[in-house]
C-alpha cells in the first residue's frame, strides 16, 4: 500500500446515555473537556488525521446518541464502519450491562456478521472513586469476547489517545486485508470451457 495515500476510516462510538461518548470524542479530537455537553441527537461527526504505520489516516468519528428512543436511528449509522468503540461508565453498572446489547445490535447489522470486527471497550470516568464496575469484571467480560479493554478518563485525558489509536491500527489492518482480498479475487483468470465462435 502506498504510504503517501490517505486512508479514510469510519469509527462509531456506542453506549448508553451519559457514559461520556461525546466527552471522549472531543478529548481525542480537540483535546478539550466540557462539563456540560448536551444530549447527542442521532449522531455528530468529528474528524482527525493521524499517522499509523507510515500511513496517513483520516478518522471520521461518529458520536452517537445513547437514548433508547434513538437506537433505531443510530443503527442506521453503522453502515460502512471500519471500527467500533463500546463505552460504559465505571460508576454505573447498568451502562456496563448494556454494552452486550450494543455489541450484538452492531454485529447483527454488519453484513456479513463478523465476530472479528475491529472493536474496543472503554470503561470511562475512572477519575471518579465511586466505582460500580471493577477493572477485573470488565476485563473478564472483554477477554471472553476477545475484545481489547481500556480504562479511560475523558476528563483527565487518561489512555484516550492510546485506546483510539489501538482501534485505528486494528481497523487499518482489517482494511488492508480486505483490500488485498478484493484485488486477489478480482484478478483470478479462469480458462474458458469452450472456444468462442468466430463472427463476421
Domains and CATH numbers, the chain: 6-181 (3.40.50.300)
Q: How confident is the model at residue 74 (pLDDT cuts 50, 70, 90)?
A: low
Selection from 45, 84, 85, 39 nearest residue 61 by Cα: 45
Question: Of 115-124, 165-174, 176-185, which gets the smallest average pLDDT?
Answer: 176-185
Task: Identify the pLDDT of residue 72.
Answer: 61
Q: Stretch 62-89: mean pLDDT, rounded?
A: 80
Q: How confident is the model at residue 41 (pLDDT cuts 50, 70, 90)?
A: low
Q: Stretch 105-112: mean pLDDT, rounded?
A: 85
Task: Identify the pLDDT of residue 86.
Answer: 98
Q: pTM of the entire structure?
A: 0.84
Q: Stretch 77-86: mean pLDDT, rounded?
A: 93
Amino acid at each position: 500500500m502506498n504510504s503517501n495515500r490517505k486512508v479514510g476510516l469510519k469509527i462509531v462510538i456506542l453506549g448508553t446515555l451519559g457514559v461520556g461518548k461525546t466527552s471522549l470524542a472531543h478529548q481525542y479530537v480537540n483535546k478539550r473537556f466540557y462539563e456540560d455537553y448536551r444530549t447527542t441527537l442521532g449522531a455528530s461527526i468529528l474528524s482527525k488525521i493521524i499517522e499509523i504505520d507510515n500511513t496517513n489516516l483520516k478518522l471520521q468519528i461518529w458520536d452517537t446518541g445513547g437514548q433508547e428512543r434513538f437506537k433505531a436511528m443510530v443503527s442506521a449509522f453503522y453502515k460502512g464502519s471500519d471500527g467500533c468503540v463500546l463505552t460504559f461508565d465505571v460508576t454505573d453498572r447498568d451502562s456496563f450491562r448494556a454494552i452486550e446489547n450494543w455489541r450484538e445490535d452492531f454485529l447483527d447489522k454488519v453484513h456479513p456478521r463478523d465476530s472479528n470486527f475491529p472493536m474496543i471497550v472503554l470503561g470511562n470516568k475512572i477519575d471518579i472513586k465511586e466505582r460500580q464496575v471493577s477493572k477485573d469484571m470488565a476485563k473478564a467480560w472483554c477477554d471472553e469476547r476477545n475484545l481489547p479493554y481500556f480504562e479511560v478518563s475523558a476528563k483527565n485525558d487518561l489512555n484516550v489517545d492510546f485506546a483510539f489509536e489501538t482501534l485505528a491500527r486494528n481497523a487499518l489492518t482489517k482494511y488492508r486485508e480486505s483490500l488485498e482480498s478484493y484485488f486477489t479475487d478480482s484478478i483470478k483468470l479462469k480458462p474458458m470451457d469452450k472456444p468462442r465462435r468466430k463472427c463476421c
